[in-house]
Structure formats: C-alpha cells, structure tokens
Amino acid sequence: MILSAALVVICVLFFLFGGRTYIKRHYQTVHVDRAKETLTEKVDMNGKNGIIIYFTRVGNTNFKENVDAVSSASLMEENGILIGNSELLAEMLENATGYPSYAIRTKKKYSSSYGDTVSEAKKEMDENIPSELENDIPDLSEYDTVVLVYPLWWGTLPMPVQTFLSENDLEGKTVYSLVTHGGSGLKKLPLDGAVSL
Ligand SMILES: Cc1cc2nc3c(=O)[nH]c(=O)nc-3n(C[C@H](O)[C@H](O)[C@H](O)COP(=O)(O)O)c2cc1C
C-alpha cells in the first residue's frame, strides 16, 4: 500500500518536473505553416546560375499512413502532409535565391520507423553500399553554383548524398552545403577532398 502510494507520488512528480517536457518534446506533432516559414529575404547570388539539391527522409521513406509527425522523428506536417527538415530549408533557399530545388530520391525506400532507418543507414555506410537513385535531377553542367541541403546521418553525409556526389561532376563549381542535424557534430568527410564542402 505504502509502496503503491510512493509510486504514484513519484509518477506525479516526474510528470510535473521534467517528464511533461520530455513527453511534449517527443510526442507532440509539429505543425508548420509552410508559406509563412519559407517567406525569406532575397539573397543576391551575384548573377550566378544555381541549383538547390536536397535530400530528406520524406519522399525516401515508406511512411505508414498513420505515422505521427513528431519532433523526435524529425518530421513536420501541414494539413496532414509530411515535410522534412531539409526540404523546408531547401524551400526557404529557393525563395531566398530564386534557384530551383530538386530532391535526391532513392529507388529503395527506408523504413517508416526512425530506429530502423538509423540501422539501415549504418549498414549501408559500414558496408559502403551506394544508393540507387532516381534520375530526375537535371544536368548540372549549366549551373555555376550548387547548394546542397541534407541531414547529418551518423555524423556525415547520408549515403544517397554520397552517391549523388560520386555520380555528378562538381569540379569548378561553387558548392554550398547546408546540414540539418539533431545536435551532434560532423564526424568525417568520406570523399577525401573530392569536393570541398
Ligand atoms: C539515419 C539517421 C542518422 C542520423 N544521424 C545523426 C547524427 O549523426 N547526428 C545528428 O546530430 N543527427 C542525426 N540524425 C538526425 C537528423 O540529422 C535530423 O533529424 C535532421 O534534421 C533530419 O532531416 P530531414 O527531416 O530532412 O530528414 C540522424 C537521422 C537519421 C534518420
């Protein structure tokens, strides 16, 4: 009896001091107003012709229909449509620079579960398995500037981005790289100076 009462008190205290914040952070849906969030100041790109290439989980993942958009899984939604962090950032840059943006799409989709995606990404990086990409990104030869936007995966570039870079020649171009992440630092660049990011 005393033990049960103590347990209830501990649960209430956990919820009041800290637990509620934890639950909110991990299980609250992140709604965004896409038009408002991507309204940006214009950036002068000095007349350079550029393109934005981004990679994000959304569009490369078999999300279950009832997936909830929660911050821990790095998803946002507007009217039931999921939006990736890097996708939203790419849209902001599109408005800021006037450059068109294109998504890197993998043929094989990642699992709906965040944890399984993390394991799948680790395996393909450990075993250096290139991703098979859809070919819907235009020829880059006409662009002077390439803006890459992607999430940090295991401290580095996701394998689909590494594959994209190995399949496209960026020699002589100005490359900007914008990385979204969950707070950890950059581990290493796997491309051994093939491109300066
Ligand atoms: C497979 C995988 C690996 C990740 N590895 C890292 C990491 O090493 N460090 C980090 O800070 N965040 C990591 N994250 C979190 C993402 O970088 C972060 O949530 C990002 O904003 C997601 O962007 P997106 O919504 O465009 O996919 C990882 C996420 C996934 C799915």
Count of domains for the chain: 2
In-domain check, residue 171: yes
- Given this model, what pLDDT does residue 52 score? 98
Are 79 and 101 part of one and the same domain?
Answer: yes
Are 41 and 15 part of one and the same domain?
Answer: no
Are 118 and 158 part of one and the same domain?
Answer: yes
In-domain check, residue 190: no
Question: Atom 6 in ligand 1: which residue has the minimum CA distance?
Answer: 153
Are 13 and 84 part of one and the same domain?
Answer: no
Closest ligand 1 atom to residue 121 Cα is 1
HEC secondary structure over the chain = CHHHHHHHHHHHHHHHHHHHHHHHHHHCECECCHHHHCCCCCCCCCCCCEEEEECCCCCCECCCCCCCCEHHHCEEEECCEEEEHHHHHHHHHHHHHCCCEEECCECCCECCCHHHHHHHHHHHHHCCCCCCECCCCCCHHHCCEEEEEEECECCECCHHHHHHHHHCCCCCCEEEEEEECCCCCCCCCCCCCCCCC
Are 132 and 172 part of one and the same domain?
Answer: yes
Q: Out of 106, 119, 153, 177, give the residue to mutate to test ligand 1, the one with the largest number of ligand atoms within 8 Å of its CB.
A: 153
Give the domain extent around 8.
1-28
Question: Atom 22 in ligand 1: which residue has the minimum CA distance?
Answer: 151
CATH of the domain at 173: 3.40.50.360
In-domain check, residue 167: yes
Q: Output the tens digit of pLDDT for each of the chain's 197 residues.
A: 777 888 887 777 766 666 665 555 455 568 889 999 999 999 999 999 999 999 999 999 988 776 655 545 567 888 888 899 999 999 999 999 999 999 999 999 999 888 899 999 999 999 999 999 998 899 999 999 999 999 999 999 999 999 999 999 999 999 999 999 888 877 755 544 444 33
- Given this model, what pLDDT does residue 23 score? 54
- Given this model, what pLDDT does residue 71 score? 47
Are 86 and 170 part of one and the same domain?
Answer: yes
Are 95 and 153 part of one and the same domain?
Answer: yes
Assess whether the C-beta atom of 61 lies below 6 angstroms from ligand 1: no
Q: What is the pTM of this model?
A: 0.84
Assess whether the C-beta atom of 118 lies below 6 angstroms from ligand 1: yes
Are 85 and 21 part of one and the same domain?
Answer: no
- Given this model, what pLDDT does residue 9 score? 78
In-domain check, residue 42: yes
